[in-house]
Each structure stands twice: as C-alpha cells, then as structure tokens.
C-alpha cells in the first residue's frame, strides 16, 4: 500500500533535491573573480564598458540636428522627458559608423551633471571575463584616438579593449562640441 505524505513532506523532499542539484553551481567566491561589462563594436574594433559606467542601452533614437555643433554630434533626443545629446562615437574618433542602422545602439552615460548617448555600431550584450585575464597593455591595433579612454584589454574570441565612458565624458575635446 502507498504511504500517504503531507504537503510539507513533499516540499521538504523537493528542497533536498534542489540543494543537491545546486551543489554544482558556481560558488560566490568564483563569481567575485569575474569582471562584467557591456560589449560593443565600433569601427571594426571590440570594446567592453564597465557595468557601472553605462546607465542603459537604447536603439538609435530619432533626434533633432543642432546648428553650430561638431559633425560628430548627431543631435538631441527626448528620452522620457530628458534631453539626451547623441554623439557618434565613431565620428568623434575619426571613423564612420557602419551603414547597418538597425544594429546601431546608444550607450547612455549618466554621470554627475553629464547625460549623453554614445552611438555605436552594435551592442553585443553583457560580457564576462575572468579578472585574472585582464591585461593592462593595449593591443597594437587599438584606435589611436580611443587610447586615452582605454584601460587595458581582455582576450577571448576577440581582443576586447576596456573602454571608459566616464573618462570620455570628462575629456575637454569631448566637451567642446561648439564649432
């Protein structure tokens, strides 16, 4: 004859089975040894921006051109009631964006008194690297104009240069948008 079990006993059994399966998940210590960032492509190069330096990622918004600004300033857009200046990051570095506009994305930087969107060729999602695999040197193929804003690189299927939007938005050439 089958033994009758209470709902509580069934829940305890499920809990024990879950704990056995969870034993194979990575530990907290292992998770602390990884570095995560937003991966993106610009002018054929691969970059990753630290998580804390990008507020959000958007599709390329409609924007209004502004007179009397540098050519790399795409315009200004309305983002939930806030005016978002949109900057062509490739144009700022002296390169053109890819012609595939559907893939273009905007990395929104919201730091202190600076709120700006950086238009890039493509965002390839959240990237995770082992902290020990970070190399402080820059690859020879790095864009010369981007070097002041780079903080080393990681190597996986590509060389992922660590790009700091926080450094960029504080740089005087970036802040000088007037012609």
How many Cβ atoms from other residues are within 10 Å of residue 162's Cβ? 21
Residue 21: what pLDDT? 77
CATH number of 49's domain: 2.40.50.180
Evaluate if residue 2 carries a pLDDT over 60.
no
Question: Does the residue 11 lie in any domain?
Answer: no
Evaluate if residue 78 carries a pLDDT over 90.
yes
Question: Does the residue 132 lie in any domain?
Answer: yes
Evaluate if residue 16 carries a pLDDT over 90.
no
Evaluate if residue 40 carries a pLDDT over 90.
yes
Residue 61: what pLDDT? 95
Question: Does the residue 28 lie in any domain?
Answer: no
Question: Does the residue 16 lie in any domain?
Answer: no
Per the model's pLDDT, the better-predicted residue between 17 and 46 turns out to be 46
Residue 3: what pLDDT? 67
Q: How many domains does the chain have?
A: 1
Residue range(s) defining the domain that contains residue 79: 34-175
Smallest Cα–Cα separation from 173: which of 91, 52, 97, 61? 91
Question: Does the residue 20 lie in any domain?
Answer: no
Evaluate if residue 24 carries a pLDDT over 90.
no
Question: Does the residue 15 lie in any domain?
Answer: no
pTM given for the model: 0.81
- CB of 151 closer than 8 Å to CB of 35: no
Rounded distance between C-alpha atoms, residue 94 and residue 88, angstroms? 10
Evaluate if residue 173 carries a pLDDT over 70.
yes
Per the model's pLDDT, the better-predicted residue between 107 and 13 turns out to be 107
Rounded distance between C-alpha atoms, residue 126 and residue 34, angstroms? 12
Rounded distance between C-alpha atoms, residue 121 and residue 89, angstroms? 9
Evaluate if residue 10 carries a pLDDT over 80.
yes
Per the model's pLDDT, the better-predicted residue between 27 and 166 turns out to be 166
Question: Does the residue 10 lie in any domain?
Answer: no
Rounded distance between C-alpha atoms, residue 110 and residue 104, angstroms? 19
Question: Does the residue 22 lie in any domain?
Answer: no
- What's the average model confidence in pLDDT over 128-156? 94
């Amino acid at each position: 004859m089958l033994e009758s079990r209470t709902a509580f006993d069934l829940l305890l059994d499920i809990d024990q089975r879950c704990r056995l399966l969870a034993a194979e998940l990575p530990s907290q210590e292992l998770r602390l040894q990884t570095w995560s960032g937003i991966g993106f492509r610009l002018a054929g190069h691969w970059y990753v921006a630290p998580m804390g330096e990008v507020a959000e990622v958007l599709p390329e918004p409609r924007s209004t051109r502004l007179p009397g600004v540098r050519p790399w300033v795409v315009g200004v857009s309305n983002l939930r009631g806030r005016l978002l200046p949109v900057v062509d990051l490739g144009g700022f570095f002296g390169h053109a964006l890819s012609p595939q506009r559907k893939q273009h994305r905007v990395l929104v930087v919201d730091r202190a008194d600076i709120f700006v969107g950086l238009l890039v060729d493509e965002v390839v999602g959240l990237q995770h690297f082992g902290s020990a695999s970070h190399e402080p040197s820059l690859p020879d193929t790095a864009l010369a104009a981007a070097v002041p804003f780079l903080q080393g690189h990681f190597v996986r299927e590509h060389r992922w240069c660590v790009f700091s939007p926080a450094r960029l938005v504080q740089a005087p050439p970036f802040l000088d948008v007037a012609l």
